[in-house]
Amino acid sequence: MASTACFVIVSKNDIPIYEAEVGSAPKKEDLAHQHQFILHAALDVVQDLAWTTNAMFLRSVDRFSDLVVSVYVTAVHTRFMLLHDSRSDDGIKSFFQEVHELYIKIFLNPLYLPGSRITSSHFDTKVRALARKYL
Amino acid sequence: MEDYPEELRMTPVSLVSIVGCPELHPSISAALSSQQPPMNTLALPDFSKASILARSGKARDPLAPPQAPAGILKKDWLLKHRTRVPAAVAALFRADQVSGDPAQWLQACSDLENLKSAIQGKNTKLVVVLVQAQASDELSEDVTVALRKRAEIDSRHMIVLVEQDETEWSRSLSKLKNVFAELCSAFYKEEGRRIKARIEKRNFSSVELSIRYCFKVAVYAEFRRDWPEALKFYEEGVRVLREMIGTSTRLPPTQRLVEIKAVAEQFHFKISTLLLHAGKVVEAILWFRKHIRSYERVVGTPEVAFLHWEWFSRQFLVFGELIETTAATVPDTLSPRFGTADNALTEWEFQPAYYYQLAATYLREKRYAIECSSSVANLTTEASGIPESVMPSVYVGQYVRLFEQGDTVSVLPLSDTEYTSYALSEAERFQDSYEIIALFRKAYESFQSLGATRMASACSRGMAIEYYAAGDFSNAKQLFDGVAGLYRQEGWTTLLWENLGYLRECSRKLNFPKDFISYSLEMAALPLFSGSGEENRENKIKSGPGGSPTISRRENIQQEVINVLKRKQAPDGTNDEFDNAMEETTHLDIDQISPLRMVLTASVAFHDQSVKPGSPLLISVSLLSHLPSPVVVDQLEVQFNQSDCNFVVHSAQEDSPPLDSNLHDQVVQATSLTLFTNKWMRLTREIKSGQSGKLECLSVKATINKHLVICCHAESPASMEDFPLWKFEDHVETLPTKDNVLAFSGQKLIQVEEPDAQVDLVLNSAGSALVGEIFIVPATILSKGHAVHSGELKINLVDAKGGGLLMSPREAEESESHDVELLGVSTVDGKELKEEVDSIRKIQYSFGVVSVPTLSEGDSWSCKLEIKWHRAKSVMLYVSLGYSLGSTEEEALLRLNVHRSLQIEGQIPLLVTHQLLRPFRREPLLLSEIRSLGGDDKKCSLAMNESNMFIVNARNCTEVPLRLHSMTIEPDDDGKQLCSVQQVSGISNGHAVIAPSEEYKGIFSVNPRASSSNFHLGDICLNWSRDSSLGEDQETHVIMKQRLPEEIKYSLVDSQNFVFSGAHNHAAFILPKSEHIVSHKLVPLGSGSQQLPRITITSVRYSAALTPSTSAATVFVYPSEPKFNLETSCSTSDECVS
């Protein structure tokens, strides 16, 4: 498991709807802050890149010192952004794909308003479990 | 990059030296430096100066054990090779110096010896140049040979320069250049090989030497322009250097690290430059990444962390500058592959701005580290003080202390503690903030031009934080404001929180209490729920003055605002500076796009859509706040566009509600006005509607803690936007009003209707109208309380069955006739009024406008509408009266309307039927065959020259009695010639009254004078009126016309085989689809197949004849028995001819 990993789901209007620190390193508020900061700045690159390729998984689109940003863009342009320091591409890809399935399940909920923040503890638990498994 | 010595920044250039003949030096050095590759020239005017070429260093005792080197690289080594150690030396002699005077020859020889001894022990090559005036001045062979022998050089290195002749000069010069180039190459190769051999044989005593050798070999390779070799040895050097960190013990740890990093920096710079100049951008970036990764964690002890970050930042800055100066572009093959597996680079890594931004970030890291170190250092090293006269040593990255004792100056090494305090004092002298800001600004502008707004705002934020740290709060606030806008828009609340935290502090420092309050409230209302974070010092530095985003912190911030408002001294005494700037009350304006909408939102809904003026109406005011703690509202003021409606709600908790000067306001007491987080506070009040027109709620002003007035623009629940930041999956959407319908459709504005009209409009109907008459509808206007000014009566006739128009479209095309027509409006009153009325009277077929004279209260006015029906039709009559209450302009604007409608049926008054009575038939007839004709049967033929009776029945179908004035038959031209019509019984006493559903019969005698198969008898004209019992004074005469029936005739032709009885020609009337049977009795005269008499049927109207086919008219007659009475009956069915 990666020591640092910050996972954020950004809705298509650029609002983060889910945030989680999934790294094994001890949690520090200011770091979480810094991570979000890097992820937000990386949106610029993703914005350009997402339209140039058919691939959903965009690996290492941005880096900040030894932290790398990988992104998974869904069909409705929701972006799963992961800030990580691990090098396992396959793991990250699998993580994204499984989270995508979870996200679709959230989306299928008729009571879920698209674009609202995901606060389901079930989703949170699942995402953290996936992070432990793949990252 | 400018800080680096020039020799490091420039590519090494070979150095040659020329001695003697100073007058020729300028042209020779110019020629050499224009060479490709160029050569630098060390020009010595005469041989006495040659000693500087000699080795300057002390002769080492060859027997002494090899000493460990004191450093890795000597600072001046590269400079020495560029300026003082030539690869080749050329001794210039004039031809006359060597060929003439023996004394001169001896001098030349000794000069040459001196030169040789100066370059003794080096590989420096020697060239001898003889300068001749003319090419023809042939030097004797033995002189040149002797000179060569003296110099111990190859014959190739003996060159003759011809001074006077231009072509000869340049030819000989180029020869010299070639020789030099060849010798330089050989020199540097040899030097390189010499050192390389040491590396390969591992013939060195320490790691330092290994690195030094690598550097030297690489530099010699650069002199030769052998880039791959240079690169190889630089990389090797870096590798060894990196390994050295853990192993070397020569220096104290801190200084050792500093030295290693300084050397690594030089190596890295060389490698990057080589790669970038060769156009290998991708390799350069990958190399840089490797370099960064290998040194990132080598921070050293915390006291000297700032040295590391400074160095680290410089790496980024220099690399960014290198990329910028070499104008590296993204290779075309790479750009579409960003983010894919086969490309490890990101798009930004090709942008210098990326490196500047990181350099700034790390420089800021240095600033933090200095802050930490200085606070520690102040405590510990105060006593020992900062060592004096510390200077850089001869080795790269080393510092020593000069120690003076009397006249002797010695160099002493430093201890780590001394070095640390020296470095710290040096570092504190610099204002890093300005450099950080400059770097961020450079990156910001670059990213902005690339269209990367988020990266740009990240840089902008960096600048702002530096300004904040440097105490320039107004600049910081401006930048933070810009960045906060982006985070608000994109809803990155954690980042927004941090930003607002800075903004809040800036406002506090700038003494802007209003901004302070609004930023604080916005922070408090942000949706942040992370657990209670531990507040520690480091945390506070990094996450800004806002603290960590937790609920408790939000509550604290809200409490701080309240403290500021109450002028209460905060426990830490931070808000006392607001005392001067605080106004009596602070006003905050919140509109629909304000970020403070989360703090307080007002939704206002009227319960009805429209209301009568002056009548009470219900209004719901709902307030929502996302602040974490409950908010107590002292007073709530609701403002409308009609200020009469404004009202104020006071919280009952307040002891003495202040008397409001505004007399219009209605003051209401409410029990408690407390807003709980994320719960609507709903108030429903009854207010009096104002004037007619639009009544709109403009704003709701909430007074909190007496000194804060928040003015919220009122929002309609129907068009209220949700809060994008407060949208949560499990968040139950609350509605502003309890009534669901109102929550979805409620509006903040209401239409106040116009007042009720106090004028009556009466339409009297006289039952149903009759077709043909002019029907009068009296309309009366009765004023009951309003005077009528500039009144106008509008009359409209509409088909009661819908469709609006009173004629069918087809009819409208064909003619101008209307089924129902408005003929006119007549007034009953005086003539002078009528003239006035006429001027604006406008009557069309179904529409009319009539002006009404001015009526004072209690007056009445009436008119009569004349309508004529052309067909029986039901019609809606709409009459509307529009008037104003006065004749002044403003009163004229307000018009009141009264509407009345009336349905009027149109009826046909009389139903007319007729009957003909024929005289007795006199033709011979077989009585049994004569069928009696029904009385209602209209088909008939009239006997010529006989008097036929013609009876006309007129039946009253209305409910009113009618008066029949006359009933006549008006024959047309045909009829006049063919027959005469006389009235037998007429109407006595001028008229006959027909009661409803009674019949009147008129009897006429018709006397045809000529035989005709078809003629029109004429039209029946009835002249009638309503029975005057209704009081009408105008008689209506109606003429009705009806057509008489036509004939159809048939004829039978005699057949020789039969005799028959009956008429040969006859006429009959046949209704459509009915059957008429014609019977004849036939007596056959012979047997066998016989032809029946032929029948021909003719339709008179269409002159069409029908003859049955022969087969249908053939019959077989059996031979008869002796009895002669066989009968054959044949019936032919008549076809319908219509």
DSSP B81-117: HHHT--SEEEEEEEHHHHHS-HHHHHHHHHHHHHHHH
Residues 275-314, chain B, touching A (beta carbon < 8 A)? 292-293, 296
Query: Given a cut of 50, is residue B836 above it in pLDDT?
Result: no
Tokens of B733: 């959407």
The minimal CB distance from A30 to the residues B493, B539, B730 is found for B539
pLDDT greater than 90 at residue B530:
no
Which secondary structure element, helix H or strand E, spans residue B832, and what is its range?
helix B831-840
Question: Nearest to residue B215, comparing CAs of B154, B167, B270?
Answer: B270
Q: Give the distance from CA B315 to its chain's centroid.
A: 42
**pLDDT confidence band for B976 (50 / 70 / 90):** low
pLDDT of residue B837: 45
Q: Percent of chain B scored above 90 by pLDDT?
A: 4
Q: What is the pLDDT of residues B283-337, one digit of tens each?
A: 888 889 888 888 888 887 888 888 888 899 999 999 999 888 886 566 666 655 6
- Write the CB contacts of B129 (distance below 8 Å, at least 6 apart in sequence): B18, B90, B91, B92, B93, B159, B160, B161, B176
Q: pLDDT-derived band of residue B255, with 50, 70 and 90 as boundaries?
A: confident
Cα-based torsion angle of the residue sequence B144, B149, B154, B155 in order, rounded to the nearest 10 degrees: 20
Whether residues B41 and B160 share a domain: the answer is yes
pLDDT at B832: 42
Distance from the Cα of B457 to chain A's closest Cα (Å) equals: 8
Among the three residues B470, B498, B522, which one is the final residue of a domain in this structure? B470
pLDDT band at B1127 (very low <50, low <70, confident <90, very high): very low
User: Taking 60 as the threshold, does the pLDDT of residue B153 lie above it?
Assistant: yes
pLDDT of residue B381: 52
Half-sphere exposure of A117 (CA within 13 A, CB side): 23
Residues of chain A with Cβ-Cβ distance to B358 below 8 Å are 64-65
Please state, as a whole number, how many other Cβ atoms lie within 10 Å of the Cβ of residue B928: 8
Q: Read off the pLDDT of residues B73-85 as tens digits, 9 standing for 90 and up.
A: 888 888 888 888 8
Domain assignment of residue B499, given as a range: 484-531+540-582
Angle, helices A29-50/B493-510, rounded to nearest 10 degrees: 120
Task: Name the residue of chain B whose CA is nearest to A36's CA.
Answer: B495
Any alpha helices (H) in A7-88, and if so which ranges?
A: 29-50
* Same structural domain, B462 and B555: no
Place of tokens 């403009």: B698
pLDDT in the model for residue B481: 92
The amino acid sitting at B508 is: R
Full set of structural domains in chain A with CATH: 5-134 (3.30.450.70)
**Residues of A at the B interface (Cβ-Cβ below 8 Å)?**
13-16, 19, 28-30, 32-34, 36-37, 40-45, 48-49, 52-53, 55, 58-66, 71, 89, 106, 112-113, 115-120
In a domain, B1111, yes or no: yes
H-helix or E-strand spanning residue B129: strand B125-132
Helix (H, G, I), strand (E, B) or coil at B57: coil
Across the interface, which of B338, B348, B492 has its CB nearest the CB of A16? B492
User: Residue B14: CB partners within 8 Å, gap ≥ 6?
Assistant: B37, B39, B40, B87, B181, B184, B188, B223
Nearest CB partner across the interface for B454, out of A32, A44, A89? A44
Q: How far is B455 from chain A (nearest CA, A)?
A: 5
Share of chain B above pLDDT 70, in %: 79
Same domain for B517 and B446, yes or no, is no
Residue positions counted in chain A:
135
* B566 and B688 fall within a common domain: no
Nearest CA in chain B to A12: B490
Q: How many domains does chain B have?
A: 7
What is the rounded distance in angstroms from the CA atom of residue B790 to the CA atom of residue B886?
8
Q: What is the pLDDT of residue B480?
A: 92
Q: Confirm if B676 and B683 have CB atoms less than 8 A apart.
A: no
Q: How far apart are CA A83 and CA B986, in angstroms?
A: 116
Determine, yes or no, domain membership for B831.
no
Query: Does residue B685 form part of some domain?
Result: yes
Global pTM reads 0.68
Q: How far is B732 from chain A (nearest CA, A)?
A: 10
Q: Check CB contact under 8 Å for A19 and B346.
A: no
The interface residues of chain B toward chain A in range 716-745, judged by CB-CB distance below 8 A, are 724-725, 727-731
Confidence (pLDDT) at B803: 58
Could B455 and A44 be called an inter-chain contact, meaning their C-beta atoms sit closer than 8 Å? yes
CB B964 within 8 A of CB B994: yes
Closest Cα in chain A, distance from residue B337 (Å):
8
Q: Is the pLDDT of residue B520 over 70?
A: yes
Q: Are residues B152 and B295 in the same domain?
A: no
- Report the pLDDT value the prediction gives residue B400, as an integer from 0 to 100: 82
- CB B484, CB B500: distance < 8 Å: yes
Partner A, chain B 342-371, Cβ-Cβ below 8 Å: 344, 346-349, 358
Residue of A13, A31, A38, A40 to mutate, testing the B interface (most B Cβ within 10 Å of its Cβ): A40
Q: Would you tell me which residues 482-511 of chain B have a C-beta closer than 8 angstroms to some C-beta of chain A? A: 487, 489-495, 498
pLDDT-based confidence at B1129, cuts 50/70/90? very low
Q: What is the pLDDT of residue A72?
A: 92
* B702-718: average pLDDT: 87
Average pLDDT over residues B593-621: 85
Mean pLDDT of B218-224: 87
pLDDT above 50 (res B111): yes
pLDDT band, residue B437 (cuts 50/70/90): very high
Residues of chain B contacting residue A118, judged by C-beta atoms under 8 Å apart: 729
- Phi, psi values for residue A63, rounded to 5°: -140, 150
User: Residues B114, B152: one domain?
Assistant: yes
* Higher pLDDT, residue B38 or B812: B38
Cα–Cα distance between B181 and B186 in angstroms, integer? 9
Cβ atoms within 10 Å of B754's Cβ, excluding its own? 14
- Which tens digits make up the pLDDT trace of B655-698? 544 444 444 456 666 667 888 888 888 888 888 877 777 888 88
Cβ within 8 Å, pair B358-A36 = no
Pair of tokens at residue A16:
């983060």
pLDDT exceeding 70 applies to what percent of chain A? 91
pLDDT tops 70 at residue B59: no
**Average pLDDT over every residue of B981-998:** 74
Say what the pLDDT of residue B662 is.
45
Q: Which of A63-67, B606-610, B735-739, B1030-1034 has the highest mean predicted lDDT (pLDDT)?
A: B606-610
Question: Which pLDDT value is given to residue B443?
Answer: 92
Q: Does a structural domain hold residue B232?
A: no
For residue B1066, name the pLDDT band (cuts at 50, 70, 90). Answer: confident
Q: What average pLDDT does the segment B451-468 reach?
A: 90
C-alpha B55/C-alpha B951 separation (Å) is 161
Looking at residues B560-564, what average pLDDT do you find? 85
Tell me which chain B residues have a C-beta less than 8 angstroms from the C-beta of A66: 293, 296
Same domain, B424 and B434: yes
- Domain assignment of residue B832, yes or no: no
What is the structure's pLDDT at B119? 80
Model confidence over B772-798: pLDDT tens digits?
788 888 888 888 877 888 888 888 888
Closest CA to B627 of B551, B540, B734, B576: B551
Q: Cα angle vertex B820, ends B815, B822, to 5°? A: 105
Average pLDDT for residues B864-882, to the nearest whole number? 84
CB-CB under 8 Å, B530 with A44: no
Whole-angstrom Cα Rg for chain B? 63
Taking the CA of residue B1112 as centre, how many other CA atoms within 13 Å lie in the half-sphere pointing to its CB? 10
Q: Which residue of B has its CA nearest to A9?
A: B492
B728 interaction partners in chain A (CB closer than 8 Å): 116-117, 119
Considering chain B, what is the average pLDDT of its residues? 77
Cβ neighbors of A32 (< 8 A, separation 6 or more) are A6, A21, B494, B530
Contact B731 A55 (CB under 8 A): no
In this structure, is residue B427 part of a structural domain?
yes
ipTM of the complex: 0.89
Check whether B1020 has a pLDDT greater than 60.
Answer: yes
Q: What is the band of A100 on the pLDDT scale with cuts at 50, 70, 90?
A: very high
**Range of A115-124, B150-159, B812-821, B1070-1079 with top mean pLDDT:** A115-124
| CATH number (domain holding residue B745) | 2.60.40.10
Q: Which residues, other chains included, contact A17 with Cβ-Cβ below 8 Å and sequence gap of 6+?
A: A9, A10, A11, A115, A116, A117, A118
Element (H, E) at B683: strand B681-688
| Cβ–Cβ under 8 Å, residues B675 and B633 | yes
What is the 8-class DSSP label of residue B163?
Answer: S
Q: Is residue B230 part of a domain?
A: no
Backbone CA torsion sign across B326, B332, B337, B338: positive
CA distance B304 to chain A (A): 20
- Read off the tokens for B319: 């690399």
Whether B341 and A59 lie within 8 Å, measured CB to CB:
yes
Strands (E), B844-939: 847-852, 860-869, 874-884, 895-907, 910-917
- Residues A110-134: what's their mean pLDDT? 86
pLDDT value, residue B109: 84
pLDDT at B391 over 90: no
Between CA B77 and CA B83, with CA B78 as vertex, the angle to 5 degrees is 100
Specify whether B367 is located in the same domain as B423. yes
Q: Collect all residues of chain A within an 8 Å Cβ-Cβ radius of residue B455.
A: 41, 44
Residues B201 and B267 in one domain: no
Residue B340 lies in a domain: no
* pLDDT exceeds cutoff 90 at B440: yes
CA distance B184 to B177: 10
Same domain, B892 and B983: no
When computed from its CA atoms, the radius of gyration of chain A, rounded to whole angstroms, is: 14
Same domain for B121 and B150, yes or no, is yes
pLDDT of residue A97: 92
Question: Do the Cβ atoms of A106 and B729 come within 8 Å?
Answer: yes
Position B856 confidence tier, pLDDT thresholds 50, 70, 90? confident
Q: Which of residues 833-892 of B touch A (CB under 8 A)?
A: none
Within this chain, do residues B450 and B505 fall inside the same structural domain, yes or no?
A: no
CATH code at B895?
2.60.40
